[in-house]
Amino acid sequence: MSSTNEIRKGVVIRHQNDLFVVVEFQHINPGKGAAFVRTRMKSLAAGKVVEITYKVGESVDIVEVEFQTMQYLYKNGANYVFMNMNDYEQVEMNGDLIGDEAKYLKEGIEVIVGLFEEVPVSVQLPKKITYKVVEAPPAVKGDSASGNVTKEITLDNGLKIQAPIFIKEGEEILVNIETGEYSARA
């Protein structure tokens, strides 16, 4: 058994005989009384999401997951293919398990893949990823006067986001993966 201090995004917890991967966790302090950890976890079998709250210090059944740095290669139908940088072994992971963050994947980036019994169960992306802008409509005179301070641009992996009007085609920019928004010029 492990302690609640070891709960992190991507760890796998056995709860009532099912395995769940932690997608979000948050310490909460109800004021009087000890602190708790509220987790949102996704069932590895059914994909359904549950919320479980543990008291800090309570023992939790965290199962061993191996974390490996891997490179994202390409999408294969509903699956995403990653390559272990050490032995060039490839693994595939279903898009449902990766969730919404799958849209930020871009060929060649390095991510951390959690493997449970050699099966990938989680992917952690960098906090910020650099993309090349492949489409950005030119800023029109009077834009900022009429309140249009952002515009939609397209990035080299097909992702569309809002960016400041001064961003031009061919530039490299950083996107904040937590918010999915423009962060800065790269």
Partner 1 sequence: MSTWLDLKDNPRLKGIYDTRLKIIKSIREFFWSQDFLETDTPIAARYPGQEPYLNPMRTQIHNPSGAAFDFFLHTSPEFAMKKLLAAGYKKIFQICHCFRDEEEFGGRHNPEFTMIEWYRAPGELLEIADDTENLFKYLGEKLGVKKINYKDFKIDISGEWDRKSMKEIWKIFINVNLDDYLEIEKIKILVKERGFAVCENDAYEDLFYKIFLNEIEPKLGLEKPIFIYDYPAQMCSLSRLCDNDKRYAERFELYFGGLELANAFGELTDAECQSRRLNEDKKLREKLGKQSYPVDKDFINALKSGVPAGENYSKKAAGIALGVDRVVLLFSGAKDINETIFQSAKDQTEFDE
Q: How far is the CB of 42 from partner 1 (least distance, A)?
A: 17
Q: How far is the CB of 75 from partner 1 (least distance, A)?
A: 27
Q: How far is the CB of 86 from partner 1 (least distance, A)?
A: 26
Closer to partner 1 by Cβ: residue 91 or 159: 159
First-to-last CA distance in the chain? 43
Q: Which residues bind partner 1 (CB under 8 A)?
A: 16, 26-36, 38, 51-53, 55, 57-59, 127, 149-150, 164, 176, 178-179, 181-182, 184
Beta strands of the chain (E only): which ranges?
A: 2-3, 12-15, 18-28, 36-43, 49-55, 59-60, 62-63, 66-76, 79-84, 90-94, 110-116, 119-124, 128-135, 150-155, 160-164, 172-176, 181-185
Q: How far is the CB of 90 from partner 1 (least distance, A)?
A: 31
**Which among 134, 183, 185, 128 is positioned nearest to 159, based on CA atoms?**
134
Closer to partner 1 by Cβ: residue 115 or 133: 133
19 within 8 A of 45, measured Cβ to Cβ: yes
Closer to partner 1 by Cβ: residue 78 or 184: 184
Closer to partner 1 by Cβ: residue 17 or 86: 17
